[in-house]
Copies of this chain bind each other. A is one copy, B any other.
Amino acid sequence: MRRFLTREELIHQIKIKKTCLCIGLDTDINKLPSHFQKTPESVVEFNESIIEETHDLCVSYKLNTAFYEAMGSAGWECLKRTIELIPENSFVIADAKRGDIGNTAEQYVQAFFEDLDVNAITLSPYMGKDSVTPYLNYKGKWIILLGLTSNEGANDFQMQPLTNGRLLYEEVIETSALWGSPGNTMYVVGATKTAAMKRIRRIIPDHFLLVPGIGAQAGNITSVLSNALSPDVGLLINASRSILYAGAGKDFAIKARTEALRLKKMVENSF
Least CB distance from A160 to B in Å reads 5
A57-95 contact mask (Cβ, 8 Å, vs B): 1 or 0: 000000010110111111111001000000000000000
A104 to B8: give the CA distance in the assembly, Å: 32
**Any B CB within 8 A of the CB of A111:** yes
**Any B CB within 8 A of the CB of A19:** no
Number of copies of chain A assembled together: 2
Query: Are B153 and A129 touching (Cβ within 8 A)?
Result: yes
Query: Are B154 and A128 touching (Cβ within 8 A)?
Result: yes
Q: A100-B97, A101-B149, A151-B130 are in contact. Are A107 and B161 (CB under 8 A)?
A: no
Most buried by B among A76, A127, A130: A127
**Any B CB within 8 A of the CB of A171:** yes
**Any B CB within 8 A of the CB of A162:** yes
**Any B CB within 8 A of the CB of A125:** yes
Query: Are A76 and B66 touching (Cβ within 8 A)?
Result: no
Q: A97-B99, A111-B72 are in contact. Are A125 and B126 (CB under 8 A)?
A: yes
Count A interface residues, CB 8 Å: 59
Least CB distance from A104 to B in Å reads 5
**Any B CB within 8 A of the CB of A4:** no
Query: Are A99 and B128 touching (Cβ within 8 A)?
Result: no
**Any B CB within 8 A of the CB of A146:** yes
Query: Are A158 and B101 touching (Cβ within 8 A)?
Result: no
A64 to B104: give the CA distance in the assembly, Å: 8
Contacts of A112 in B (CB 8 A): 69
A155 to B125: give the CA distance in the assembly, Å: 12
* B70, B98, B163: the one within 8 Å of A162 (CB): B163
**Any B CB within 8 A of the CB of A251:** no
Known A70-B111, A128-B157, A160-B168; further 8 A-B contacts with Cβ < 8 A: A66-B98, A69-B112, A70-B110, A73-B74, A101-B149, A128-B151, A129-B152, A161-B162
24 examples of A-B residue contacts, CB within 8 angstroms: A26-B104, A28-B107, A64-B100, A64-B104, A66-B104, A67-B104, A69-B112, A70-B108, A73-B73, A73-B76, A73-B77, A73-B80, A75-B111, A97-B99, A101-B150, A101-B151, A125-B157, A126-B149, A126-B157, A127-B149, A128-B153, A130-B151, A130-B153, A131-B153
- Listed in ascending order, the chain A residues whose CB lies under 8 Å from chain B are 26, 28, 64, 66-67, 69-77, 80, 97-102, 104-105, 107-108, 110-112, 115-116, 124-132, 146, 149-158, 160-164, 168, 171-172, 175
